[in-house]
Amino acid sequence: MNKQWISVIIAACFEVGWVIGLKHATSVLEWIGTVIAIFISFYLLIKAGEHLPVGTVYAVFVGLGTAGTVCADSLLFGEPWKLAKIICIVVLLAGVVGLKLVTGEPKEQEVNE
């Protein structure tokens, strides 16, 4: 896995953080952390999109962020697990992995000077 895909995964982790922050932030410090997480998340997403297919990058980012947010909501805030929710997350992650597998690695373009 190359560095751009790792950036997408890290961006999705920060997405989980800022989504939780948007719902649960109550102090100025928590809001600052939420804004920083938004910035880092989208910065990494944009940088990865410069080297990878943007549609696939965004789909992977949103899929991982969604699955991570649902898991964090259950683990941190006591949201109950339901079989239907677990099945949907598995299907979502299968789609994300499938998109990653069918997306070819970009070929480096030669620069003629």
pLDDT tens series, the chain, 113 aa: 588 889 999 999 999 999 999 999 999 999 999 999 999 999 999 999 999 888 888 888 988 998 899 889 889 888 888 899 889 888 988 888 888 788 766 555 544 44
Which pLDDT score is estimated for 110? 43
Q: Which residue has the tokens 């952390």?
A: 33
Which pLDDT score is estimated for 56? 85
Beta-carbon contacts of 43 under 8 Å, excluding residues fewer than 6 positions away, are 11
Beta-carbon contacts of 31 under 8 Å, excluding residues fewer than 6 positions away, are 21, 25
Which pLDDT score is estimated for 107? 56
